[in-house]
Each structure stands twice: as C-alpha cells, then as structure tokens.
Amino acid sequence: MIPVSIGRRFARLATNAAVGRPRLWGLFRPLLRRQFDALAPHWDSIRIEDSLVPYETALAAVDPAPSRALDLGTGTGVGAFALARRFPQAEVVGVDLAERMLEEARRNTPEDLRARIRFRRADASALPFEDGSFELVAHANMIPFFDELARVLAPGGRALFAFSSGATTPIYVSPERLRRELARRGFTDFAEFGAARGTAFLARKPDRI
Ligand SMILES: C[S@@+](CC[C@H](N)C(=O)[O-])C[C@H]1O[C@@H](n2cnc3c(N)ncnc32)[C@H](O)[C@@H]1O
C-alpha cells in the first residue's frame, strides 16, 4: 500500500492539477483510483471522527430541499447517507471512481435508506447524467470538476463543498478559488461555513445561463 504521507501529498497535487488544468486529470485518475481502492477497507477507521460536521452544517442551509441529490466522490457513502437523512423525500445518488469504496458504501447502507440511495461508479469529470439532473451536488473532501457539476445541476440548484480539516485537508480548494471558479460560471449566493475542524462552501446556480 502507498504510505499515507505520500498518498496525502499526491492527493493535494492531483487536486491542484485537476482544478487548475482539468485536462491533466487523465494522468492522475488511474493512480488516484488505485490509491482509494486500496484505502477502501480502512477508510472509515482513518476518517477523523467529526469529518462530516462541515458538510452537515452546510446541508442545513440548503433551502428549498432537493428532490434529487448527488454526492460526488462518495467513498464509503457517508455523505450520501447524510443527504438522505437530511432530505427524507430526496432520491440520492453516490458516485465514486473506486469500485471498492462503492462496495463498502453498498454494504454500509442502512436498511431504511436502501430504497432511496443508489451508488454508481463514474468519473466526476464526465458524469453519466443528463443536464440539470440534480438540485444539489455535494462534495465531501472531493476534487471539484466545475464544468461538469454545473452541467448536471438544475437551474437554481446548489453546489456544496466541504473539507473536514479545512486548509490542511489533502483534497482542498480554498473558498477564494471556489468563489472565482463558480462566479465565472454565473453562480451566486455564496456562503462560507466553519464547523468542527473543517470548512464548507455553498453556492447557487443561476436560474438561467
Ligand atoms: C478523500 S475521499 C472522500 C470520501 C468521502 N466523501 C468522505 O469524505 O469520507 C475522495 C473520494 O473521491 C473519489 N474520487 C476522486 N476523484 C474522483 C472522480 N473524478 N470521480 C469520482 N470519484 C472520485 C475517490 O475514489 C475517493 O473515494
């Protein structure tokens, strides 16, 4: 297995490359996928205890409630479970590149959520969904692919980004950069959150672009 410190540095490098020059993502994808496949059986014991608090804090500010919500880079599914609990009427999809992460997510899905959550293997840079398929697209500790997330979001939908350890999270994008990238695509209503050890960011896609 890749030593944790090297894995963290690699995740930071891949994030900066994919955000700054999305065409480079193809070079990083196989390695990152292999890294997360290897981490999958241990992921829930590695995650910091309050890792989802920033995500849940931003979720509490999402209004109106979405009827279709997407958790990108879902890993073992914790974000997807939080979405389904927060929005009891919503259909939730969790997407990840790493099949072993998804195996854990499927196995961990609580019985009462099974009818509303599905997990699917896909790359967030080229999603197998129609334009405007979701009213909420959420990321917990996940590299954002701005054009693609804007495409699958419905007009007026919300994009959410959370980082469990704020600026020291291996996969991290600063609020300034999130604001810049999203503003370029017409997003508004930016909100920043600090909760537990982390940070989160929320933005609204315009009604029309
Ligand atoms: C740091 S983990 C976060 C997992 C989970 N969201 C959490 O907070 O516990 C990042 C996850 O994103 C997935 N991932 C990275 N790049 C991806 C991409 N382009 N498309 C889909 N999943 C991706 C990885 O396989 C990994 O499971």
Lining ligand 1 with CB less than 6 A are 32, 36, 47, 51, 73-75, 78-79, 95-98, 101, 123-125, 140-143, 171
pLDDT score of 6 more than 80: no
d(CA 87, CA 67) in angstroms, rounded, equals: 8
pLDDT tens for 65-119 read 999 999 999 999 999 999 999 999 999 999 999 999 999 999 999 999 999 999 9
pLDDT tens for 121-153 read 999 999 999 999 999 999 999 999 999 999 999
Whether the Cβ atoms of residue 84 and residue 150 lie closer than 8 Å to each other: no
d(CA 31, CA 10) in angstroms, rounded, equals: 9
CA angle 85, 148, 95 (to 5 degrees): 40
